[in-house]
Amino acid sequence: MACHCHDSHCSINQHKTIEEKKELIQNILRLSIGAILLAVGFTLAHFDNSYGDISWSYFSDAKFYSSLGFIAFILYAIAYLFLLVDLIKNCITETREGSVINEYTLMSIATIGAFAINEYPEAILVVLFNIIGEMLEDYATKKSSASIKNLVNDMPLYAHYIDQDNKIVEKSPEELEIDDIIEIKPGEKVPVDCQLISGHTSLDLSSINGESLPKDIYENDLIYSGAINLTSSIKAKVIKKYKDSTLTKIMRLVEDEESKKARSEKFITRFAKYYTPIVVLIAALVFLIGYGVNGFVWEGELGGQTWLYRSLSLLLISCPCALVISVPIAFFSSIGRASKLGILVKGSLAIENLRKSETFAFDKTGTLTKGTFALKNDVDPKYLQIAASLESKSTHPISKAIISANKEALLEVSNFLNRPGYGIQGNIDGITYYIGNKKLMSMNNINDIKEENTPFLTLYLSSDKDGYLASFIVADEIKTSAKEALKALKSEGVKQTILLSGDDAKIADAVGSELSIDIIRGNLLPEDKLNEIKRLNASKQLSYVGDGINDSPSLLASDVGIAMGALGSDAAIEAADVVIMNDDLMKLAEAKRFSKRTMFTVYTGVIFALVIKILFMILVSIGALGDFSMIAGVLSDTGVMAICILYAMCLLFYKPKYIKTQNKY
């Protein structure tokens, strides 16, 4: 929306931006300080031949305290404690919110274990990699969101208030009072619900209720806020304050759904719920069983000290470096690659949920259809030429469909007359022609018209000489890629498609049937759509595709809201999780396929890391690696991490199946 939105909403967004910048600065500082201390400590430790590999036993040696090794230890400890504070704070926050075992718990336990067996760089690296991973994913998400903001229509919502001196004063909609008189010019949004008192025009209501055909309005007719005035300037009387108007009610629905939409757990959080207790339990059991089998003797080759070392080595091996960095990199690569394909994704959760979606629900107007009108039936070129010549004198949006279909030169029209609500008439070569609805025909005693069996708008052409001549069926044009896109979605695992439209039920049925959509619902108000989405969402994973203001609550209520960006309203784009930038419906199938590929990469990377870790954990537990346990632990973590990172970055080279890569947008 333009910044004539609620002041509170704007201030919330500003506050959110400030908080995000503050968090970014804090993360950069933490990363920089931690990395510098680690680098200096690591360098000093490896310059000290006597105390380079720092061990707890060195603390009983007085010489250790004057060595480079001790300085290195101090730097390691400062870096670790500095990073651990924020890690523990996050862990406590997640615990208070109900997630007792989370990724921060996992990292805290793993790093403490690493520190306990003198693997200080490893302990610090786990936290540093986590910060890098979060920053990469945040960067990808924010970059996508910035691109989305560039799409926002921002059609200004303001009012031309007519004061007592008949002067026009620009006002914010919130300032208008009931009975104020306003002027609404062509191309402008209606700011508040009002009643027409002067003039005649057509309104585009598609973003409010999904109605594809423009609505002609006359004196005393009601006008809803958010509608777009199409043809001529009008004067209207305010009948509802801004806070009670139709557009505000829809935006309130959006805010309600935004506050209700639970933040799904990130993949790594869900993973940590199972992984953390398992590795801690295994480490504890290895220590207790080994210690117990050997009679609870602490000293000796297989005493408690050895088994404690082994159990701590298990915690080191279980360090989630490979996971906390490779998983965010996979999503970072995925979001970045998708944006180059013209698919903007707001974060990893959208990718996860899109992969799981087996039901896709669609709005009709502007989503499956172009939002522009075309002639659907074949008409004799002679009559099409006459109709186009008459319509060329009209400003009504429907006239463009007939003019576009005509291939002949326009004829000269005289005595042109516009009959609002009925049609138009004019004289061509001495003959008076009429084109309009059945009422216009009846007014001119044309009763032999051939009625068409169609739910779409039908115009009739007749003349005072020959009576009825031809019929013109005009309808919102279905997008050329719609049928192929829906078929492609089915091939990517979508089991059910649903059409939810505010348009006339018969028109919705006709469009849905032509596209072979499984379930079709018409005549739906925004609240009806929202309730239908909630009902469907209760039993299945659902993605909803829409473009109008009226779609915004449904986009938020669904598991994945997908907005058709190039023509979509600002509210729909902001409410969506995914934005298709150029309205190419084939990108829906590409997004679905890409989400599957991304999650496959994430899962296989995690499985690979776990298999290697489990293998080394078994070898350490049975003592097969002896004194090389710690080295094996480091290799099983840093080595696996490098492989997982490279594997995750393969998503940057994803090759699309349904769209051409040379067309970025």
Return d(Cα 139, Cα 126) in angstroms, integer.
Answer: 20
Domains identified in the chain and CATH numbers = 159-246 (2.70.150.10), 340-370+479-592 (3.40.50.1000), 372-478 (3.40.1110.10)
Sorting pLDDT into bands at 50, 70 and 90, what band is 525?
Answer: confident
pTM greater than 0.85: no
Whether the per-residue pLDDT at 570 is higher than 70: the answer is no
Return d(Cα 577, Cα 351) in angstroms, integer.
Answer: 9
Known catalytic residue: 363?
yes
pLDDT of residue 195: 94
| Whole-Å CA distances, 23 to 27, 36, 90, 131, 135 | 6, 20, 13, 11, 10
DSSP state string for 350-387: HHHHHHH--EEEE-STTTTEEEEEEE-S---HHHHHHH
The region of weakest confidence among 369-378, 403-412, 421-430, 624-633 is 624-633
pLDDT of residue 154: 41
Across the chain, what does the average pLDDT equal? 82
Return d(Cα 359, Cα 541) in angstroms, integer.
Answer: 6
The predicted-structure confidence for 586-618, as pLDDT tens digits, reads as follows 999 999 999 999 999 988 988 888 888 788 778
Residues of the chain with pLDDT > 70: what percent? 83
Residue 51: name the closest of 41, 529, 636 by CA.
41
pLDDT of residue 248: 75
Q: Which two tokens stand for residue 302?
A: 């297989």
H helices of 431-585, where?
438-443, 482-491, 505-514, 526-537, 552-557, 570-575
Cα angle: 495, vertex 500, 504; to 5 degrees: 140
Only one residue has tokens 């090759």, namely: 655
SS3 164: coil
Q: What are phi and psi of 338, to 5 degrees?
A: -60, -40
The predicted-structure confidence for 333-374, as pLDDT tens digits, reads as follows 888 888 888 888 887 888 999 999 999 999 988 889 887 888
Q: Which residue has the higher pLDDT, 650 or 300?
A: 650
The predicted-structure confidence for 287-301, as pLDDT tens digits, reads as follows 888 888 888 887 777
Sorting pLDDT into bands at 50, 70 and 90, what band is 101?
Answer: low
The predicted-structure confidence for 436-445, as pLDDT tens digits, reads as follows 999 999 999 9
SS3 182: strand
Residue 203: name the closest of 216, 194, 218, 188 by CA.
216
Length of the chain: 665
Sorting pLDDT into bands at 50, 70 and 90, what band is 619?
Answer: confident
The predicted-structure confidence for 445-468, as pLDDT tens digits, reads as follows 988 888 888 888 899 999 999 999
Residues of the chain with pLDDT > 90: what percent? 28
pLDDT of residue 260: 46
Give the list of residues 6+ apart from residue 153 with CB closer than 8 angstroms, or none. 568, 569, 570, 573
Catalytic residue among 180, 204, 363, 476: 363
Residue 555: name the closest of 539, 547, 544 by CA.
544
